[in-house]
């Protein structure tokens, strides 16, 4: 591997997730360097550059697109820019890592897919949970046949606290904003496509979420083309913190994951037996998976292999989310083929 | 309590479940004696009587009904006799313990309910799982407000092996035969009535079950009148054995049960870390709950309190099962009010 | 087995442990009946007899000894009577179940051993923990070679609350009264004899125990003849209840047991993740093992096999306890061969 | 904190542990930079420098000592150089992080302590396990009084595989090489000094270790000045991997840690219930603690506070190890006051 080219990455966006990816690429991903960082907030970009020895810093991401020495971009800007930036990067011949979701519009997603296909570049979408060691183990067991034929799939995904009602309004709704990860996880674990969705939900956590036109609690049933049945339950607020579990059940056996905790200590006293709550939220819980997805992105470029989450994989959960929304509105199961 | 009357029970049926209840009543239920046992298979009844010091043994259960010294009957005969025996026992003024399900026909169940009401006797249905210490703890936490407002309820109920296809034919179908326990558990845990059901299922375990007109795998979604959402998943065959778990989630927290195992030993070797499979099937898993339900039945008679599972509680899961069946057949959510 | 003789047992002592054994023998041990019960407190014996359908009730245990129809006795009287009753029962040709410890004097124990040997009767000592499903599993793994050569053995044994200081005075000291079970467990799990003991301890729980000349906390190291090393830790008071665990470690792997709890429910809220304390004390924790030891006692008689805990097994832990006491007093490792 | 000085660290040694510390300091420790690295193997130092943007690279560590711009050194060279390098660094006015053990000779350790004291620099010894989140939680519970008065302390520390017999010869013996971590942990958890030691051990894993004059299995009992009793069990080879657990028990309760695993997945099939083995060895298991100890070292310098593991803390476990060795050789408890 020592002869392989070092991949020069330009990071677009120096916000929360941009920082995470820049730091991973700079310090924990072999074969990658961060060659440039861009953010309209130039000071934020400069701070990160200083800390991580990033040589070039821009207010305008187009300088990255135009730099012929840059091999790849990491798109960490706001959701509404994703599709356009994918199209621009593809046109510039850059490999692309893009945060999820690609977009809320299938039309825009399809344009991005088209651009990527035409340019022949790699485009990996940031469904980081696939790289989490718990869920990866479930997937491995399914792939290795240890579960046999998959019959039932269960995902529990509950946040520790709801986002501000302000955020809710532009989020696209819970299915597109939060459950999108679970829809991707369902496809990933099952190794099969979703065919039909039935969703029910309600406002149980915060009336302000309902006032913003969204729900905060849901149970979704999925029919897969391979015959398996899936169920996802979501809440915007679990009193005990971030609850992220999954279970696969089939003819050969069952596998389930538990939450990760800050330590394994169990304390027993006169009141009972006590252990730690789950790691607080996605930054704590999924940090290793953010590093792992970047490693695989860089490896796929260096070894010219198919990357593990394609831009098509970015489209499918959006379709499932749309079907779930319609199902809930019309109180009936909705086939994915109904979504245009 | 020593001054309270000892309750004389007549056990009808000396089969598998009859033996269990007779033994519990004879040896582990304070305040009860088994005064008589009846079975058309007189030899089976006699064997049990010898072992348990039961003074009177009959081939004809009517001798129990006619014996004025008998306070209560335990109906452990086949399902198709339950409703009639309840009616007969009520007419004879006996308190009644009756195995589940009461019947597959709502008409017959309603007659039994009417008879019990008219006679003013107690009638407890054998939903023994309510008395299991795991599920009882969940219910207690809900009742004590530790879960807050209930938002999501999950039940996993999977058998270690399917019954013979022959049995399937007369079973009333998986929802009435197997899921009935889970429907009761859902009502019990939620402390609320089911309003609407959506069920999907399939034949994944054994084609013979499909040939017999039944399914062997299902996922059912429940809407409760208190706003909570429930999900049940069932399989007729879990490779690792009898899987009986539940989880309640609400504004105040979450509580979940794990399976019971024959021992707590954990063995670690070069291949991994290994522990025991769940207790094999309902006899091993729920033995303590069979004793506990009898204790509560006898206590309710002696202290003249409402028994914990009434004959009305025996009716409701049958209605949910019927709604689930229709939902699956028509692939749409079905309201319980649609079931007549 | 149906042709085998039913064993008629006479129970001597209707106190706490006598009640347990009488009830097991009467209701849960196939092939046994309780033919008689004796206690100087005749009312206690009569109450038990009424409940369990025991035909003969005596104030004087000698009536049991003299009854030729009695096959076996269960000695459940106070410790100071054990050795004499064993000798008397052996002389009368009865098989013997005797509660632990046999005696605090090796001279008396040796006389009892001699009497049993001469009479050729079976004599099982009540080390019930060997029949607990957790510890039995550890022993099975050792016997099956799953642990390989045993290297390290660890036993944790802590009571929920100390006995009254009054009891302490006549108890023989913690090693003979409490640790005796752990010494037996160590021999059982290791399948090897103890060669040398090093014990340190102190008064940490209750000064009254110290005033009574005893300790309440100890750590004991054991050298086994097979080369393994064992460690036992004891406390008379664990705030969280009865802590009964063991671990075996060897060339092939490790196995450890956890405590048993009243239910498997795990409750998560804003304060943490909570589960149940261990079952309160030995009656709750070891009830099944009391039944199991009786079953094996009766089976050994009916099938004329060696019973699983012989009277010699009753002597050895007493020797270890004496060595432990001397070790602590002299602050040095003590060989068992030093104990005469 | 932004105004605080950035600490310039010179790393001495570019071997396995040197790499770990250099990488932590360069990428994961706020307020630190690696200003220079030295190794007689200049190529190894250069590789690391390239990867981590370290500006100066030397074959001779003295260049670091003489560089006035360097604030602190991290001594990651072989054990026999530790004491001399501490003395040299102290003389040069550098703060010191030094890997454990300080030395095998108390005379040399005392000279190093003297030098540090005289220079008034900070000197932190690399007992990284104190910074592990599991053990830190135990310590916190003890400190917060949640355990009450400490009565019993248990440490299990077993390696996945023994080092080569060649290494054994120069290791100082198992107590100084391996158990030294556990002796430090015992002091740390108990918050009290060890007064007396009793150790027994043997060669159970590999006769070559015995031929090299060492043991591979041991159980050590510790008496603390606060009255608590500790027990440590060690093995050079656990078939299931790196076993690192501890338990504290006292008047208020008990706390215990479990091993860390690569994922939380539990797989159930017809053979049983299976989960992952512990993380393989110290690099995997303790990586976060290596980062955490460096963070605290740098913070102690920047905020001029006492660092959490002083050079005196580096001496004490060496004394305990010597007492343990003598105890085993003479088969008697040895007081620490006997070690000169």
pLDDT digit string, tens, across residues C274-321: 999 999 999 999 999 999 999 999 999 999 999 999 999 999 999 999
Residues of C in contact with D215 (CB under 8 A): none
Q: How many CB atoms lie within 10 A of CB A143?
A: 11
Supply φ then ψ for residue B199, to 5 degrees.
Answer: -130, 135
Chains in touch with C (≥3 Cβ pairs < 8 A): A, B, D
Chains in touch with A (≥3 Cβ pairs < 8 A): B, C, D
pLDDT in tens, C4-58: 789 999 999 999 999 999 999 999 999 999 999 999 999 999 999 999 999 999 9
Q: Are A238 and A217 in contact (CB under 8 A)?
A: no
Average of per-residue pLDDT across D196-210: 97
Taking the C-alpha atoms of D42, D44, D48 and D51 in order, what is their torsion angle to the nearest 10 degrees? Answer: 100
Residues of C in contact with D253 (CB under 8 A): 239-240
Q: Is A231 on the interface with B (CB under 8 A)?
A: yes
Average of per-residue pLDDT across B136-150: 98
Task: Please report the domains of chain D, with CATH numbers, ordered by start residue.
Answer: 7-121 (3.40.50.720), 132-286+317-338 (3.30.360.10)
Mean pLDDT of chain B: 96
Q: How far is CA B211 from the centre of its chain?
A: 27
Nearest CA in chain A to C280: A270
Q: Is C268 on the interface with B (CB under 8 A)?
A: yes
Q: Is C141 on the interface with B (CB under 8 A)?
A: yes
Asked if the bond preceding A101 is cis, omega within 30° of 0, the reply is yes
Q: Enter the tokens of residue B284.
A: 């091993």
Average of per-residue pLDDT across B196-217: 97
**Facing B133 at nearest CB: one of C257, C263, C266:** C263
Give the pLDDT of residue C3. Answer: 56
Give the pLDDT of residue B147. Answer: 98
pLDDT in tens, D2-17: 457 899 999 999 999 9
Q: Is A141 on the interface with D (CB under 8 A)?
A: yes
Supply φ then ψ for residue B9, to 5 degrees.
Answer: -110, 140
**Facing D137 at nearest CB: one of A136, A253, A265:** A265
The answer, yes or no, to whether residue D272 has pLDDT greater than 70, is yes
Burial class (CB in 10 A: 0-12, 13-18, 19+), A228: buried
Q: Are C176 and C258 in contact (CB under 8 A)?
A: no
Asked whether the beta carbons of residue C266 and residue B258 sit closer than 8 angstroms, the reply is: yes
- Please tell me the total number of residues recorded for chain B in this structure: 340
The rounded percent of chain B whose pLDDT value lies above 90 is: 96
Q: Are C29 and C298 in contact (CB under 8 A)?
A: yes
Chains in touch with D (≥3 Cβ pairs < 8 A): A, B, C
Please name the residues in contact with C226: beta carbons below 8 A apart, sequence gap of 6 or more.
Answer: C149, C150, C190, C191, C192
Q: Is B256 on the interface with A (CB under 8 A)?
A: no
Asked if the bond preceding C101 is cis, omega within 30° of 0, the reply is yes
Asked whether the beta carbons of residue D269 and residue A146 sit closer than 8 angstroms, the reply is: yes
pLDDT in tens, D141-184: 999 999 999 999 999 999 999 999 889 998 999 999 999 999 99
DSSP A176: I
E strands present in chain D: 7-12, 32-38, 56-58, 72-75, 95-98, 123-125, 150-158, 194-202, 217-224, 229-235, 243-250, 253-256, 266-269, 272-275, 334-335
pLDDT in tens, A142-188: 999 999 999 999 999 999 999 998 899 989 999 999 999 999 999 99
DSSP A26: H
Instruction: Identify the three-state secondary structure at position D128.
Output: helix
Q: Which residue has the tokens 């340019």?
A: A119
Which of B263, B267, B268 best probes binding to D when mutated, by most D CB atoms within 10 angstroms? B268
- Please tell me the total number of residues recorded for chain D in this structure: 340
Adjacency order of strands within the sheet including A95-98: A56-58, A32-38, A7-12, A72-75, A95-98, A123-125
Asked whether the beta carbons of residue B270 and residue C253 sit closer than 8 angstroms, the reply is: yes
Q: Is C259 on the interface with B (CB under 8 A)?
A: yes
Nearest CA in chain D to B269: D240
Q: Is B255 on the interface with C (CB under 8 A)?
A: yes
Burial class (CB in 10 A: 0-12, 13-18, 19+), C285: buried
Give the pLDDT of residue B1. Answer: 39
Give the pLDDT of residue A109. Answer: 98
Instruction: Identify the three-state secondary structure at position C316.
Output: helix
Give the pLDDT of residue C184. Answer: 98
The answer, yes or no, to whether residue B324 has pLDDT greater than 60, is yes
E strands present in C129-264: 150-158, 194-202, 217-224, 229-235, 243-250, 253-256
Please state the ipTM of this predicted complex: 0.95
Nearest CA in chain D to A254: D268
Computed on alpha carbons and rounded to an integer, the radius of gyration of chain B in Å comes to: 20
Supply φ then ψ for residue B243, to 5 degrees.
Answer: -110, 110
Q: Are C313 and C109 in contact (CB under 8 A)?
A: no
A-contacting residues in B 148-177 (Cβ below 8 Å): 148-149, 151-152, 154, 156, 158
- SS3 labels along chain B: CCCCCCEEEEEECCCHHHHHHHHHHHHCCCCEEEEEEECCCHHHHHHHHHHHCCCEEECCCHHHHHCCCCCEEEECCCHHHHHHHHHHHHHCCCEEEECCCCCCCHHHHHHHHHHHHHHCCCEEECCHHHHCHHHHHHHHHHHCCCCCCEEEEEEEEECCCCCCHHHHHHCCCHHHHHHHHHHHHHHHHHCCCEEEEEEEEECCCCHHHHHCCCCCEEEEEEEECCCCEEEEEEECCCCCCCEEEEEEEECCEEEECCCCCCCCCEEEECCEEEECCCCCCHHHHCHHHHHHHHHHHHHHHHHCCCCCCCHHHHHHHHHHHHHHHHHHHHCCCEEHHHCC
pTM for the complete prediction?
Answer: 0.96
Which of D160, D260, D273, D279 best probes binding to B when mutated, by most B CB atoms within 10 angstroms? D273
Residues of D in contact with C237 (CB under 8 A): 251
Give the pLDDT of residue C165. Answer: 84
Which of B209, B229, B259 best probes binding to A when mutated, by most A CB atoms within 10 angstroms? B229
Please name the residues in contact with B22: beta carbons below 8 A apart, sequence gap of 6 or more.
Answer: B11, B14, B34, B37, B48, B52, B54, B74
Distance from CA of C201 to the nearest CA of D (A): 8
Q: Enter the tokens of residue C278.
A: 């261990």
Tell which residue, C286, C285, C311, has the closest CA to residue C97: C311
Asked whether the beta carbons of residue B149 and residue A219 sit closer than 8 angstroms, the reply is: no
Q: Is C59 on the interface with A (CB under 8 A)?
A: no
**Facing A252 at nearest CB: one of B239, B243, B254:** B239
Q: What is the pLDDT along chain A (340 residues), one digit of tens a residue?
A: 345 789 999 999 999 999 999 999 999 999 999 999 999 999 999 999 999 999 999 999 999 999 999 999 999 999 999 999 999 999 999 999 999 999 999 999 999 999 999 999 999 999 999 999 999 999 999 999 999 999 999 999 999 999 998 899 989 999 999 999 999 999 999 999 999 999 999 999 999 999 999 999 999 999 999 999 999 999 999 999 999 999 999 999 999 999 999 999 999 999 999 999 999 999 999 999 999 999 999 999 999 999 999 999 999 999 999 999 999 999 999 999 999 8
Q: Are B77 and B21 in contact (CB under 8 A)?
A: no
Q: Is A249 on the interface with B (CB under 8 A)?
A: yes
Asked whether the beta carbons of residue D265 and residue A255 sit closer than 8 angstroms, the reply is: yes
Residues of B in contact with C146 (CB under 8 A): 267, 269
Residues of D in contact with A267 (CB under 8 A): 141, 146, 253-255
């Amino acid at each position: 591997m020592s002869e392989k080219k070092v991949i020069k990455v330009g990071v677009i966006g120096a916000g929360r997730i941009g920082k995470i990816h820049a730091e991973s690429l700079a310090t924990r991903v072999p074969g990658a360097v961060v060659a440039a960082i861009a953010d309209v907030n130039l000071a934020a970009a400069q701070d990160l550059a200083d800390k991580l020895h990033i040589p070039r810093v821009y207010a305008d991401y187009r300088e990255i697109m135009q730099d012929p020495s840059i091999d790849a971009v990491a798109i960490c800007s706001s959701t509404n820019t994703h599709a356009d930036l994918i199209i621009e990067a593809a046109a510039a011949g850059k490999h692309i890592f893009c945060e999820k979701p690609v977009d809320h519009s299938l039309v825009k997603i399809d344009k991005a897919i088209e651009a990527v296909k035409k340019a022949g570049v790699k485009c990996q979408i940031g469904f980081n949970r696939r790289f989490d060691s718990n869920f990866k183990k479930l997937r491995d067991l399914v792939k290795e046949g240890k579960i046999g034929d998959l019959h039932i799939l269960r995902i529990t995904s509950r946040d520790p606290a709801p986002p501000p009602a302000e955020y809710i309004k532009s989020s696209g709704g819970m299915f597109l904003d939060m459950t999108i990860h679970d829809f991707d996880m369902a496809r990933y674990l099952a190794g099969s496509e979703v065919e039909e969705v039935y969703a029910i939900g309600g406002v149980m956590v915060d009336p302000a979420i309902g006032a913003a036109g969204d729900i905060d609690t849901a149970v979704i049933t999925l029919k897969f083309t391979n015959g398996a049945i899936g169920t996802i339950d979501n809440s915007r607020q679990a009193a005990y913190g971030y609850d992220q579990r999954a279970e696969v059940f089939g003819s050969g056996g069952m596998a389930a994951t538990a939450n990760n905790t800050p330590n394994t200590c169990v304390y027993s006293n006169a009141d009972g037996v006590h252990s730690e709550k789950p790691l607080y939220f996605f930054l704590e819980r999924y940090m290793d998976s953010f590093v792992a997805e970047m490693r695989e992105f860089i490896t796929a470029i260096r070894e010219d292999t198919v990357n593990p989450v394609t831009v098509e994989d970015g489209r499918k959960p959006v379709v499932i989310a749309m079907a779930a929304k319609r199902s809930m509105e019309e109180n009936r199961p909705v086939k994915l083929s109904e979504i245009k």
